[in-house]
Amino acid sequence: MLQSTGRHRRTRTLSIAAAVSVASGAGGVYLGLSNDGADAAAVRTVTVSSAAQLEAAVKGATAGTVIQVRGGTYYPTKSLKSSASGTSSARITLQAAAGAKVKIDGSKLPDGSWLAGVYGDYWTVENITWQNAPAHGFVATSSVGGVFRNLVTANNGDSGFTLRGDGTTDNLVQNLDSYGNYDPSGHGHNADGIAVKFGSGTGNKITGARLYNNSDDGLDFWQFSSPVTVEHSWAFGNGENRWKDPAFDGNGNGFKLGGGGASVAHLVNNNAAWDNRKHGFTENSNTGAMSLNRNTAYANAGSGYYFATGKARLGKNLAVRNKGGLRKLGPSTVSAGNNGDKGIAAPAFKSTNVSTAYGARKANGSLPATTFLTTGSTTIGSTMN
């Protein structure tokens, strides 16, 4: 399990020398100067086509670096880590080259290794699959202004994608697929699809995620003491013992919205949780005034919504066929406009065939089109988009 860290010191530099451009050829990486002028920010575009080049490019990144990764599967022999920071006007970018499919595979890393760790600000990481790490897939620590878009974190030895640390501020996680993550050393107890844990910082948002078939929870906000927004995301099939572990200890909530003493008002809108081994949505002892609106919980083994101790406000949420019941709510929880509230029935689903929810994402990376768990209602439940 990740441990809490304090805010780290950084020194930011921004060159005002001529911009630098980089291209790759048979002999390696070549530097040249652009004619942008002496007042231009430093820009280095590095194209990599081997694991060694990738390791060097990440380690050597500075404000303005753009790392373009050519198509293929890369097997680094050490964790990809950087403490460099970009700026709001000169970000550090790590991305697949245009049209390329890139997988970074951790199966050759030493036991216990993360696949990637970013300790700086203003990173953009996009269009890359991070898979088969011995431990965590991708971790951003005390990140400010990060954009993590169109990523896959799959079959890693702990949580797929993690934000952590104090000063974790204004990060966007968009269109993440995170699945099959399982920590054998913990018998599945820690590996979530996405974890925002052990830290603080405002302005963080998760949108368009599919978090499924992970050993622990789809989403986990354990000991994160600032509000996070999560919207238009799906969590399903979490907590099942797919690894035939005789001591399996995965939890299996769809959206675990607290724990460890945090009292935080997270904002949870237009999401869906189904077929999880425990609850669809749960406070997990978070006593904060969370707001949950227009979510759907379907066929979870626990309650659709478990908010027994806090001050959550639930509005226009839908719960159907959850074995633990529609909701378990405490005396300080406010429920209005949800099915099961006075006079409000559950509208019929257009489809309960889940196959399209596993389909390919749209060209821009957004969730696939589906009629699964849609109702056509404009007043209750997730719109599933």
Q: Which residues are catalytic?
A: 256
| CA gap 132, 282 in Å, rounded | 29
Q: In what order do the strands lie in the sheet with 72-74?
A: 72-74, 102-105, 129-131, 152-154, 177-179, 210-212, 234-236, 272-274, 296-298, 318-320
The CB-based long-range contact list for 10-13 (8 Å cut-off, 24+ gap) reads 10/83, 10/85, 10/120, 10/121, 12/63, 12/85, 12/87, 12/121, 13/62, 13/63
| CA gap 58, 37 in Å, rounded | 26
Angle at 157 between CA 153 and CA 161, to 5 degrees: 35
In DSSP notation, 198-261 reads: EE--S-EEEES-EEES-SS-SEE-TTB-S-EEEES-EEESTT--TT--TT------SEE---TT
Q: What would the two tokens of residue 208 be?
A: 């368009």
> Which distant-in-sequence residues (6+ apart) come within 8 Å of 197 by Cβ?
2, 162, 163, 164, 220, 221, 222, 223, 224
| CA gap 204, 278 in Å, rounded | 26
Q: What would the two tokens of residue 67 be?
A: 């790392």
| CA gap 182, 155 in Å, rounded | 7
Q: What share of the chain is helix, strand, coil (3-state, %, to 5)?
A: 5, 35, 60
